Structure 1
Amino acid sequence: MKKYWIYLIIGLIPIISMGQKVETQTNEGNLLMTDSIKSLIPEDRQKLLKNIDVIFNTRMGFDSYFTDNNHDISNFKVNQLRLEMKGKIHDKVYFRFRSRYTREPELGSLDNITRAVDLAWVKIDLATRTQFSFGKLCADWGGYEFDFNPIDIMSYNDIIKNADNFLVGAGISHTLKSKNHTFSFQVLNSRNRTYEEQYGTSAPPSINPSEYPLATVVNWRGKFFEGKFQTTWSYSFFNEAQGAHMHYYALGNKFKGKNFALYYDFKYSDEGLDRNGIISRIIDSQYQYAAQDALYVENWFRGEWAVASKVTLILSIFNCDHSWKGNPDPNGSSKLSTSYGLIPTIEYMPFKDINLRFFAGYVARKYDFASYAENAFGAKDFTTGQFSVGIVAPLLVL
C-alpha cells in the first residue's frame, strides 16, 4: 500500500500545477478558450492541499565500518527514508503521519500497528493554547537528542537507541499566555509488543506481566532570555510488569548564539526490569533471565558552529554508564560497563532555498567493561567506527 501513496502524490502534482496555470492564464487573457478548461481537483480540495506538506526525510551515502580499528565493509546505504505527511484539515484539527522504509514492517502485537510507522495521530485545538492528541505519538521525552529529526543524528546514545520511542496513546498540552512555557501530559502504552514477546524466555519467573502496561510522561518546555536558552525536561513512569517499574528522567538544555548552538542532555533510566537490555546481554553467560534493577545514566553534548554561510561544523560527545543494582553477587560490582561516543561532522548546504546538505562524518564508539564484568562474564572491551559521506535532507515535495 505504501508505494501507491507515492504514486498518488506524484500523480497529483502535475494536476494541481495545471489547475494553477489555467487560472493565471485566464486572468491575463493569454489563452483562448481557457474558461472551458477546469481542474480535475475541486477548488475546495485545492485549498485543503495548501495546508498539507509531504516530506521525504532522507539520509543516504557511502559508509565504511570498522571494529577494533580493522576495516569490515564499505558500501552505499540508505540510512534513513521516512515518508511524512502532515497538515491542517480543519481550523482546529491537524494530522501527522510518518512511515519508515528502512525498518521491517513488524506488526506491534500490543498496539496493532506496524513498528515501521513512527507517527499516526490527530491533534485537536481544545482552546487557544490547549491541544489534545490521540494515536501513535512521539513520546514527549525531554532531551534534545530525541527532539532532532532522525536524519540529523548519525548515531544515538544507548537509551534512545534501545527504547520504543513511538507509542500509541493520548496526550494534552498547554502553552502559557507568555508562550515561553509549554506543559504536556501523555498516557501511552509502555511498549509496542506484549510482555511475552518483549522478554520471551528471558522473563524472570518471579515477575508477572501487568494488566495495565501503560506509561505516563510529563514534559516542560521553557524559553528564557528571548529564546537564547531553552529547556525540555521530562519525567516518565513505565508500568512494565507487576512490581517492576521504570523511572526515566531526561533534562535537555539548549543555548543558541548568533552563529552557534550548544546542547546538553542528562538522562537517568532506573529500570526494575532491564528494558534497555544492555545489562542482560552482558550477564547472559551466567544468568538466563533479564536483569532486575538495572540503571543507565547518560550525558550527551552537541555543538553546532556555522563557520560560513554554507558550512557548518558539528561535534557530538556522549557516554552512558550501565549498572546492575540488583546484582546478587555479594562480592560483585554494580557498575558493569561504560560506552563512549564521538561524532565530528561537517555539512555543506549549496542552496539557499532548500534544506539539502552534503555531509562527511565519523562515528567513533568505545565500550569499556569493568574488571568484574570481564572476570565474571567474559566481557571484553571493543571499539567500532563508521565513516560516512552523503546527502541529508527533508525533501518537501508538496
Structure 2
Amino acid sequence: MKRLTAFWLSAFYLCTTSLQAQSIIPERDSSAISLFEYATKIPRRNNVFNLNLEMHASFNTFFTGNKLDEAAFRFNHIKLEAAGEVNDRLFYWYRQNLNQGNEGMELENLPESIEYALIGYRLNDKFTVILGKQDAAWGGFEYDLNPFEIYEYSDMNEYMDCYFTGATLAYQLTPSQELRVQVTDNRIGSMEDAYGVLPAGIEKPRAPLFYTLNWNSNYLDEVVNLRYSATAGEQAKGKWMYMAWAGHNVCSGPFDGYLDVMYTRGPLDPLGILTELVPAADEDEEGPVCLRNVQYLSFVAEMNYRFHPKWNVFAKGMYETGSIYKGGNSEDAPPSGKYRTAWGYQAGIEFYPMADENLHIFLTGTGRSYSLTGKAKALGASIENTGKISIGFIYKLPLY
C-alpha cells in the first residue's frame, strides 16, 4: 500500500504531466489517461486537478479457531482522492475514506474519514513545507504502502492512528537522502476517544502533539532503501510516549522485499491491544480501564516475486509482542512482563491484466495465532486464532 508522502506524490505528478498533455488519446489500457479523457477524447493540458477513485473489494471466508465464522462480500476500501499542482511550487492533496463516518472529532474538528487535506510549498530544490492533515512521518515499508493495497496489517499498523493535522519540513540533502521534521497532533479526538476509560489521576496535556524526525535514504541505485524514524508525544500531562521504527527494503529485478522493526511504549496503552484483552469489571461500564506502562515490539517481513510481468506472488510474516514495562498492584496497573505474543502469516498471488498496475486481481490466505501468558490469563484475558481466505480486486481508477 503506498502511503505516499505528499512530497513524492507531487514529484510523481510532475513526471506524468508530459504524458497527460499529449494530444493523441491512446487505448485505455493504463492510467496514462483518465476516464474523462478516454470518454471525451479531449486531452488535459495541465496538472492542476487529478481525481481518482480507489477501490478494494473481496469475497472473504473468515475462520475463528478451526470453525467457519462467516463468508461474505466486503468493500474493504473505497476512497476519493483529489490532488494536483497549482504551479511549480504549490501543490495540494485531499483524500477521504468513504468507509468511515463523517462526524467531526473533538480535537481536530475533522471527521476520521478525511486522511489528507494538505497543501505543500517547495521553497527551493532542497526544502518543502507541508501543512494540514497528513500521514505521520514514521519509518517502515508496510506503513509506507497505500492502505487500500494492504490485505492484512501487522498489529502495530492496524491499531495506530496515522493521519493527523500538523506541519512538516522536508529537506532533500542529496538525491538519495531526505530528512523530515514534523509536528502533528497525537490524536484526532478526545482522550477518551483515543484511550477509552482513563485511569485515576490522568490529566489532559496542554499540547497533545507528536514530534517526529524521519530519515529516508536509498543506495546502489535504489536497490537498498531505508526508512527510519523516532517520535515522542505527550499522552497526558507529564506523561510521554516514544516510538522508534526502522524499515529496510531490497528491490532487485523481480524480487522486492522488506523487513520492518517497530517499537512503541507509553504510560497509557498506545495501541489499546492489551487493554481490550481485559474484560470490563461491570457490564454497565463502557470498557476496561486503559492499562498503564505498555510497550509493543513488532517484526514484519514480506517478499514479492514478479515471475511474469502480469503475475506476482508474495509471502508475509509477522511477530509481535505486548508487555507491561513497569507494573503495579492495582487493577489498572498489573505486574510487569510479557502478556501477549502474536504470529501472522500470509501468502497470495496477484494478476495485473492491464498495462499498468492500477488494477489487479488477488487470491490471498491469512492466519493469525496468539499466545497469552499466565499474567494475561490472570486478568481474565482470552483470544482465539483466526484465519481468512480472500479473492477480489484492487483498482485505482483515474476519473479526471
TM-score (normalizing by structure 1)? 0.85
- Asked if 1 retains the 8 angstrom alpha-carbon contact of 2:302 and 2:317, the reply is yes
CA distance 1:230–1:105, shift in 2 (3 Å): same
Instruction: Give matches, 1:292-311, under 5 Å.
Output: 292-311=292-311
Which residue in 2 is equivalent to 1:323?
A: 323
Higher relative contact order (CA 8 A, sep 6+): 2
Aligned equivalents of 1:332, 1:271: Cα separation in 2: 16
Aligned equivalents of 1:18, 1:263: Cα separation in 2: 41
- For residue 285 of structure 1, report the CA deviation from its aligned partner: 4.9
- State yes or no: 1:383 paired with 2:378: no
- Asked if 1 retains the 8 angstrom alpha-carbon contact of 2:326 and 2:336, the reply is no
- For residue 310 of structure 1, report the CA deviation from its aligned partner: 1.2
- For residue 166 of structure 1, report the CA deviation from its aligned partner: 0.1
Aligned equivalents of 2:237, 2:104: Cα separation in 1: 25
Which residue in 2 is equivalent to 1:138?
A: 135
CA distance 1:218–1:208, shift in 2 (3 Å): same
- 3-state SS of paired residue (2:385): strand
- Asked if 1 retains the 8 angstrom alpha-carbon contact of 2:178 and 2:215, the reply is yes
2:100 to 93, 100, 103: 103
- 3-state SS of paired residue (1:319): strand
Aligned equivalents of 2:356, 2:155: Cα separation in 1: 35
Aligned equivalents of 1:233, 1:15: Cα separation in 2: 41
Aligned equivalents of 2:254, 2:389: Cα separation in 1: 26
2:355 to 332, 352, 356: 352
- 3-state SS of paired residue (2:104): coil
- Asked if 2 retains the 8 angstrom alpha-carbon contact of 1:110 and 1:193, the reply is yes
CA distance 1:180–1:242, shift in 2 (3 Å): same
- State yes or no: 1:269 paired with 2:271: no
Instruction: Give matches, 1:227-242, under 5 Å.
Output: 227-242=222-237
- State yes or no: 1:52 paired with 2:38: no
- For residue 381 of structure 1, report the CA deviation from its aligned partner: 4.3
Identity of aligned residues (%): 24
- Asked if 1 retains the 8 angstrom alpha-carbon contact of 2:166 and 2:185, the reply is yes
CA distance 1:329–1:76, shift in 2 (3 Å): same
- 3-state SS of paired residue (1:198): helix
- Asked if 1 retains the 8 angstrom alpha-carbon contact of 2:257 and 2:301, the reply is yes
2:177 to 153, 178, 181: 181
Give per-residue Cα distances to partners, 1:281-323, cap 9 Å, x unaligned: 2234569521111000000001000112211001110021000
1:253 to 248, 251, 258: 248
Aligned equivalents of 1:278, 1:307: Cα separation in 2: 38
- For residue 354 of structure 1, report the CA deviation from its aligned partner: 5.2
2:169 to 172, 189, 201: 172
Gaps of 5+ in 2: 1-34, 282-286
- Asked if 2 retains the 8 angstrom alpha-carbon contact of 1:285 and 1:377, the reply is no
Gaps of 5+ in 1: 1-11, 21-45
Give per-residue Cα distances to partners, 1:174-225, cap 9 Å, x unaligned: 102x31100001110110012244335x211222110111111110001111
Aligned equivalents of 1:354, 1:162: Cα separation in 2: 28
- Asked if 2 retains the 8 angstrom alpha-carbon contact of 1:53 and 1:87, the reply is yes
Which residue in 2 is equivalent to 1:27?
A: none
Which residue in 1 is equivalent to 2:195?
A: 199
- For residue 393 of structure 1, report the CA deviation from its aligned partner: 1.9
Q: Give the residue type in structure 2 aligned to 1:328.
A: G
Q: Give the residue type in structure 2 aligned to 1:158.
A: D
TM-score (normalizing by structure 2)? 0.85
Give per-residue Cα distances to partners, 1:103-161, cap 9 Å, x unaligned: 12231110011110110100001111210010001111100011001122111111211
Higher helix share: 1
Which residue in 2 is equivalent to 1:28?
A: none
- Asked if 2 retains the 8 angstrom alpha-carbon contact of 1:207 and 1:243, the reply is no
- For residue 52 of structure 1, report the CA deviation from its aligned partner: 2.9
Aligned equivalents of 1:396, 1:13: Cα separation in 2: 8
- Asked if 2 retains the 8 angstrom alpha-carbon contact of 1:279 and 1:324, the reply is no
Which residue in 1 is equivalent to 2:398?
A: 396
Aligned CA RMSD, in angstroms, stands at 2.2
Larger C-alpha radius of gyration, 1 or 2? 1
CA distance 1:302–1:353, shift in 2 (3 Å): closer
- 3-state SS of paired residue (1:147): coil
- 3-state SS of paired residue (1:227): coil
